[in-house]
Homo-oligomer: A and B are copies of this chain.
Amino acid sequence: MSKDSSYIYENRIIPKGLLVAIGGNEDKEHDLQIFNTILSLVNKKRKSIEIITTASSYPEEAGMAYYKVFTRDSENNVGLMHISTREQASDASLLKRITTADIIFFTGGDQLRITSVLGGTPIENEILRRYEQEFCIISGTSAGASAMSKTMICGGDSREALRKGTINVSIGIGLIDNAIIDTHFIERGRFSRLMQIVSMNPSNIGIGIGEDSGIVIKGGCILKAIGRGITVILDGQHLKYTNVADIDSDEAIAIENLVIHTIVNGYGYDLCEKKYLRPYDLDRINRIESEGNSSENN
């Protein structure tokens, strides 16, 4: 395989970075299951971590909570980025820190702040470039996870969410372009939000991450569940019928045949092949990968 084509597979760029999306309200005090998983992904003793607090209305407070998590039991080099204006998102010294970070972490808050402040800025472009071209971890919780997808949910009451037009959608950072992420999913009963979105374009996969749960996405395809909660996958590919194009705003949506999965720690989903992955399947994928890596090294 030539070096130039090595990121391309079936007309798709295969990103070299990893995404870790978290459903919010993750354990920050006890065994730090999710954060330990994130840290274990980087094979360095002293990791460089940048925390972006743009989503939060209380950036100092939010930043400090994650600073404590990432410095506990470690010699990591952790920086806080309280970026609240588009000017700051072009700052050269911040940009340099993004270029060298091993882990870039987005706190929760409001996903529209992330996209309206960072959208199209040098900081955002550098994050996208690094995710595509270099090994690094891009992680986010709650709003920081929702903003990862290209189509981003940014509002809508789940009690009314199976009525047409009740969910607000905007454009996210675009680290994921074949799925939509929703968070606090089980705890806030948000099934109907993703159902509306997927029914409007069944080619999208809906990913609903529960609290204290997360997913690691590798190569833009292989999704693996982490944490102690549940992630729900809504797959529209077998959808047979919906009235959504024929009804008026606020009318109730009929949907025939949406497929739903739940994945928990050890299980996964292939976003590209749209296929459920049991522990056995994930083991097989890991084996193939490590064999591939060792033959490359030979």
* Chain A residues close to B by CB (< 8 Å): 158-159, 161-162, 186-192, 195, 210, 228-230, 238, 240-241, 243, 251-265, 267, 276, 278
What are 15 pairs between A and B in contact, CB < 8 Å? A188-B189, A189-B190, A189-B191, A238-B259, A240-B276, A241-B278, A251-B264, A252-B262, A254-B263, A254-B264, A255-B261, A256-B261, A257-B259, A259-B260, A260-B260
- Given A189-B188, A191-B191, answer yes or no on A258-B256 (Cβ-Cβ < 8 Å): no
* Identical chains bound together, number: 2
Residue of B nearest to A163 (CB): B230
Contact B276 A256 (CB under 8 A): yes
Closest 6 CB pairs of A and B: A189-B189, A252-B264, A191-B191, A256-B276, A255-B262, A162-B230
Contact B264 A253 (CB under 8 A): yes
A contact patch SS: loop
- Given A159-B186, A186-B162, A189-B188, answer yes or no on A253-B258 (Cβ-Cβ < 8 Å): no
Q: A267's contact among B187, B195, B228, B254, by CB below 8 Å, is which?
A: B254
Contact B262 A253 (CB under 8 A): yes
Contact B262 A195 (CB under 8 A): yes
13 A-B pairs besides A254-B262, A254-B278 with CB distance below 8 A are A158-B189, A189-B189, A230-B252, A230-B253, A241-B276, A251-B264, A253-B264, A254-B263, A254-B264, A255-B262, A258-B261, A259-B259, A259-B260
Write out the residue numbers on chain B whose beta carbons fall within 8 Å of the beta carbon of A158: 186, 189
